[in-house]
Structure 1
Amino acid sequence: MTEPLVDAVDLVVDFPVGAPGEYLRAVDGLSFTLEPGRALALVGESGSGKSTVAAALLGLHRGTGARLGGTVRVGGTDVGSADAGELRRLRGGVAAMVFQDPLSSLDPYHAIGDQIAEVYRIHTTATRRAARARAVEVLDRVGIPDAARRARSRPHEFSGGMRQRALIAMALACEPRLLIADEPTTALDVTVQAQILDLLHGLREERGLGLLLVTHDVGVAAGSVDDLLVMRGGAAVERGPVDRVLSAPRAPYTRELLAAVPRLDGPRTPRPRPATDADEPVVEAFRLRREFGRGKRRVLAVGGPDRAEGVSLAVRRGETLGIVGESGSGKSTLGRMLVGLLEPGSGRIHHEGRETAGIAPGAQMVFQDPVSSLNPRRSVGESIADPLRAAGQRDEAAIRARVEELLTRVGLEPGHYDRYPHEFSGGQRQRVGIARALAPQPSLIVCDEPVSALDVTTQAQVTALLAELQRELGIALVFIAHDLAVVRQVSDRVAVMRGGLIVEEGPVDEVYDRPAHPYTRRLLDAVPALDPGLAARRRSARQEAFA
């Protein structure tokens, strides 16, 4: 009988918190196996213990103060009792890990090829020349065009999808038997996400790799693995073949998780607009263009090759316009121009019927990453209060009362005023960002990828909050996202951007059900499907198209 590639028995992981001797249990008695050549996905909400399990397989908790129990064997190595040399041979040689954020996983000062070559030399006796050749070989294998030349590039010269491919190439350099992928597609648009998932599938078929996929996106798991293990609170809730778990989930929590997944083919609740002056656009853009850089380094972010080509749109009170497109299509640049954070190179923007320049009165923004958009040295209450003070309010008692009201309004507590960002979960931090945007009573809020880093249940909570606030306050929303299923759920109209221009626009159901532009159809076909059979057919169709 073949020995399992991964065999975890009663795995327990406790992290130190607070006073000495106090611990928080992150993984609670988890047991599972993974056979060679098979793929298993760990799915669940943020905080369920998925990434903690993945790190335990490589002994990455050693030296952190974490307390581990149970046993974990990977490729025959007992991770808990392995010495430093055995762990070094395990990492890279037997099992390799691909992390969520490739930019922070790569050294910004060194060429991509040099970083891969260094990993290869650590685990082999290869010469520098042989290691460089190996780096080019694996970069070519993961689909980096002109690999010999691009191996000399640094991480900032790669797109997000190419950086993720580079990390996969680094993981493959030493021919591991197990690939651990921790949220490898979370920050990628749907077409690049599909390419990365197709790549992982192809590597499994070619090399017989075992795959442990950590993801909060059940749709990503559906077309990528053989089995699902659903986690909650550090424990296994349900495990089984992917098609059985998705079609007939047995655990109530699994059913809740699947119900929260936004779907292209799911029912959409009608979104009545409030009975206000709804025909007057809150924001209107006329032929916007924006370039970055100069001379040969000039990059056109919004607009077309013809200088007369620009982006025009209008958003009315109580309406949500979704903006979708691949990375680099100009979505975020357009959003920043609409609120005045970026000045258009040409074109005009009107707010409430008046042309504006600079920061637009009545316009606010909710950013993708609430961690970097909140000052870690200031309490969340003070961050929410900033727009009020900027507007001239000086009554500190009134300011605090307003902030506490806003905290309550977004589902937090008044007492959270004096807490700091690190004390909140990702979803809670995004609620703080929404409260800050609401503080000056705006008529327009631009949300730039506000739920892309959140698990599906937290996504559903945040989008439901935005919809509720919009119904009550009549705010115009611009919702920028690469997740087309989420955009369908929250939007009245949708604009599809490609290469700095809007290539298709209309009511969301019309665009999604009857897309007129080939690019729109390509985006929709790349959205992960919850049906493993459909996912496999789409993957085959993509492979035939590029054959």
Structure 2
Amino acid sequence: MVEVDGLTVGFGPLRAVDGLSFRLRRGAALALVGESGSGKSTVAAALLGLHRGTGAAVGGSVRVAGTDVQQASDDELRRLRGGKAAMVFQDPLSSLDPYYAIGDQIAEVHRVHARASRRAARARAVEVLERVGIADAARRSRSRPHEFSGGMRQRALIAMALACAPDLLIADEPTTALDVTVQAQILDLLHSLREETGMGLLLVTHDVGVAAESVDDVLVMRHGRAVEHGPVADVLGTPSQAYTRELLAAVPRVEARRVVAHAADRGRASNRPDHPSDRGREGVPSDHAPNGGREGVPSDHASDGGREGAFGASGEVVLEAAGLRREFGRGKRAVTAVDDVSLTLRRGETLGIVGESGSGKTTLGRMLVGLLAPTAGEIRYAGRPHTGVDPAVQMVFQDPVSSLNPRRSVGESVADPLRARGEKDEQYVQGRVRELLERVGLEGAHYNRYPHEFSGGQRQRVGIARALAADPRVIVCDEPVSALDVTTQAQVVALLGELQRELGLALVFVAHDLAVVRQVSDRVAVMRRGRIVEAGPADEVYGSPRDPYTRQLLAAVPALDPEAAARRRAARREPVHM
């Protein structure tokens, strides 16, 4: 189905893909795995000739479904794209036209390739939407993209790809921004589609667990080249290359207890300067999980006996929330996003908040910071009731790209909290900003550089430096690593752990990735439909969950063992009663 020989793709002086060769037989599944900047998505685009007309220099040979992509005419490429091979992109919202109904967009694809009538194309759109699990497909086909959830939009993109029954599906990071249960549903859907239709699958992902769930073979990429290639069980079970072993070591395991980080291990991942010219190649993190050296903290309603943390069993309570409620809208249209949530946070500890998209995690985090006022309930900082924004509580946002002003240097963005509190000495401000940039593993000389000159992990470090500029006691991290590859993710987590140990920070870590949350958290609160359904020490919640919903979340976490992944996939087909 796919024959790639000596593929090279260059953008000016940068060679993104360097002499890559591989095969994908009909009906098989191959994963391209690697860090950001390894060239995975560039390869996927080359398979459909998407670099044509962009100025990219493409060399080597690429044949897909019998079509020589390099030599094909524009008409031949149009017949290949969507007809024989279809692509599902990472961000479904930007891949769908916001002005047109989902069904109309799918029907257009079918009409172009199958030369079908409007009525037949419309019927095909409803058919494929039903096939990908969209309930009441005839009605929902008239909905626009913003009326779908993230998981439903991804299903709609898969339905569009299936409209012409392609022989090959190319999926570029199809589950990156999805929570674990929706991710599991998408992966299960891809697996069942392969079984039923016999189509081939090329999966591009930085998540090794996703690869284990979905494919027959894995090709590990680094700096545009193949590092290791073979059956998924062999590559993930007994990797032969050091880089593959390092990549696997960086993957957080939901079943692994936290490891106490020793002083000698501090900073191995976070002190190393990252240079913007080395985007996406930020190194390999420490083997030790940065958890602050604590083995568990009791839940909000339990005693403090037995806590062994950096600040002792009677840690000072720095933040309390009592009966928080937040509604959006009025009257019958009102939606309750957070419903009667209470929690406490002590100096130096990390509270992880997990749940699916729409569970109320981000709304709760924004209320704790003061960006949203609660409809009911009270928030207390250091024992004092408080409303509005307090410099003592800062936030690290999910998307470092949109949270940094592209027209201002990163140094000026980090300086904002200093100037907001009245600092007039410009020499002090710039010196302090340079100290903070160095503290988070960047360089003081980066002060005058702009966000686009940094990799994703480096931009997140800038966001952390900006939060530290206000000298906070609490930092609320809203999905701070969800868009990062595993090694960069581990570096950012290590940095947060080191800062917490040194500064006595309390962290609220909001995430849908249960493995990462276990790695960093003392206590965990599981949210569902705006309420906390289970809370307690991290090892207790993960080791012996009481609530069926918690067990369902844990069952959806990807497994690195392909055999275990198959067992979990079978178990997920069984209904869960809640």
What TM bracket, shorter-length normalisation?
Answer: over 0.9
| Aligned match of 1:307 | none
- Corresponding letter in the other structure for 1:299: V
Shift of 1:125: 1.2
Q: Does 1:284 align with 2:339?
A: no
Q: 1:454 to 1:278 in 2, by over 3 A?
A: farther
Q: C-alpha distance in 1, partners of 2:392/2:311?
A: 20
Q: C-alpha distance in 1, partners of 2:322/2:172?
A: 42
Q: C-alpha distance in 2, partners of 1:234/1:266?
A: 32
Shift of 1:529: 0.3
Aligned pairs for 1:2-81 within 5 A? 5-16=1-12, 23-81=13-71
Q: C-alpha distance in 2, partners of 1:168/1:474?
A: 46
Q: Does 1:374 align with 2:364?
A: no
Query: C-alpha deviations, 1:185-234, integer Å up to 9, x for none?
Result: 01101000000000000000000010000000000100100000000000
TM-score calculated relative to the size of structure 1: 0.96
Aligned with residue 504 of structure 2, among 469, 474, 477: 474
Residues 257 and 539, structure 2, Cα contact 8 Å, conserved in 1? no
Q: C-alpha distance in 2, partners of 1:452/1:426?
A: 11
| Aligned match of 1:159 | 149
Residues 86 and 166, structure 2, Cα contact 8 Å, conserved in 1? yes
Number of residues of Structure 1 aligned to a counterpart in Structure 2: 531
Q: C-alpha distance in 2, partners of 1:323/1:208?
A: 40
- Corresponding letter in the other structure for 1:403: V
- Corresponding letter in the other structure for 1:312: S
| Aligned match of 2:229 | 239
Aligned pairs for 1:205-284 within 5 A? 205-270=195-260, 271-272=293-294, 273-275=309-311, 279-284=315-320
Shift of 1:278: 5.2
- Corresponding letter in the other structure for 1:407: L
Shift of 1:277: 9.5
Q: C-alpha distance in 1, partners of 2:35/2:162?
A: 29
Query: C-alpha deviations, 1:113-140, integer Å up to 9, x for none?
Result: 0111111111121111111111100000
| Aligned match of 2:417 | 387
- Corresponding letter in the other structure for 2:233: D
Q: C-alpha distance in 2, partners of 1:69/1:267?
A: 47
Query: C-alpha deviations, 1:100-159, integer Å up to 9, x for none?
Result: 110111111111001111111111211111111111000000000000000000111101
| Aligned match of 1:136 | 126
- Bigger drift between 125-134 and 404-413 goes to 125-134
Shift of 1:280: 2.4
Residues 31 and 219, structure 2, Cα contact 8 Å, conserved in 1? yes
Residues 61 and 70, structure 2, Cα contact 8 Å, conserved in 1? yes
| Aligned match of 2:136 | 146
Q: C-alpha distance in 1, partners of 2:235/2:314?
A: 45
Shift of 1:361: 3.2
Residues 278 and 317, structure 1, Cα contact 8 Å, conserved in 2? no
- Corresponding letter in the other structure for 1:474: G
Aligned pairs for 1:454-533 within 5 A? 454-533=484-563
DSSP-derived class of the 2:214 partner: coil
Query: C-alpha deviations, 1:249-274, integer Å up to 9, x for none?
Result: 00000000000000012241132433
- Corresponding letter in the other structure for 2:178: L
| Aligned match of 2:436 | 406
Residues 49 and 232, structure 1, Cα contact 8 Å, conserved in 2? yes
| Aligned match of 2:330 | 294
Q: C-alpha distance in 1, partners of 2:437/2:386?
A: 31
| Aligned match of 1:359 | 389
- Corresponding letter in the other structure for 2:322: F
Q: Does 1:334 align with 2:357?
A: no
Residues 87 and 161, structure 2, Cα contact 8 Å, conserved in 1? yes
Aligned sequence identity (%): 76
Q: C-alpha distance in 1, partners of 2:313/2:420?
A: 28
- Corresponding letter in the other structure for 2:442: L
Q: What are structure 1's unaligned runs of at least 5 residues?
A: 17-22, 304-309
DSSP-derived class of the 1:185 partner: coil
Q: C-alpha distance in 1, partners of 2:256/2:217?
A: 24
Residues 391 and 471, structure 2, Cα contact 8 Å, conserved in 1? no
Residues 354 and 524, structure 2, Cα contact 8 Å, conserved in 1? yes
Q: C-alpha distance in 2, partners of 1:215/1:49?
A: 11
Q: C-alpha distance in 2, partners of 1:404/1:440?
A: 14
- Corresponding letter in the other structure for 1:433: G
Shift of 1:296: 3.3
- Corresponding letter in the other structure for 2:221: M
Residues 283 and 351, structure 1, Cα contact 8 Å, conserved in 2? yes
Query: C-alpha deviations, 1:322-348, integer Å up to 9, x for none?
Result: 000000000000000001000000000
Residues 207 and 485, structure 2, Cα contact 8 Å, conserved in 1? yes
Shift of 1:297: 2.6
Query: C-alpha deviations, 1:358-399, integer Å up to 9, x for none?
Result: 112301000010000000000000000011111111111100
DSSP-derived class of the 1:223 partner: helix
| Aligned match of 2:301 | none
DSSP-derived class of the 1:93 partner: coil
Q: Does 1:440 align with 2:436?
A: no
- Corresponding letter in the other structure for 2:453: E
Q: C-alpha distance in 2, partners of 1:83/1:439?
A: 56
Residues 277 and 317, structure 1, Cα contact 8 Å, conserved in 2? no
| Aligned match of 1:169 | 159
Q: C-alpha distance in 1, partners of 2:335/2:85?
A: 40
- Corresponding letter in the other structure for 1:423: E
Q: C-alpha distance in 2, partners of 1:437/1:525?
A: 34
Q: C-alpha distance in 2, partners of 1:165/1:287?
A: 36
Shift of 1:294: 1.9
DSSP-derived class of the 2:343 partner: strand
Residues 555 and 572, structure 2, Cα contact 8 Å, conserved in 1? no
Q: C-alpha distance in 1, partners of 2:130/2:359?
A: 26
Shift of 1:11: 0.1
Aligned with residue 179 of structure 1, among 161, 169, 174: 169
- Bigger drift between 24-33 and 290-299 goes to 290-299
Shift of 1:276: 7.1
Residues 311 and 502, structure 1, Cα contact 8 Å, conserved in 2? yes
Q: C-alpha distance in 1, partners of 2:333/2:160?
A: 30
Residues 288 and 348, structure 1, Cα contact 8 Å, conserved in 2? yes
TM-score calculated relative to the size of structure 2: 0.91
Q: 1:484 to 1:189 in 2, by over 3 A?
A: same
DSSP-derived class of the 1:181 partner: strand
Compute the RMSD of aligned alpha carbons.
Answer: 1.2
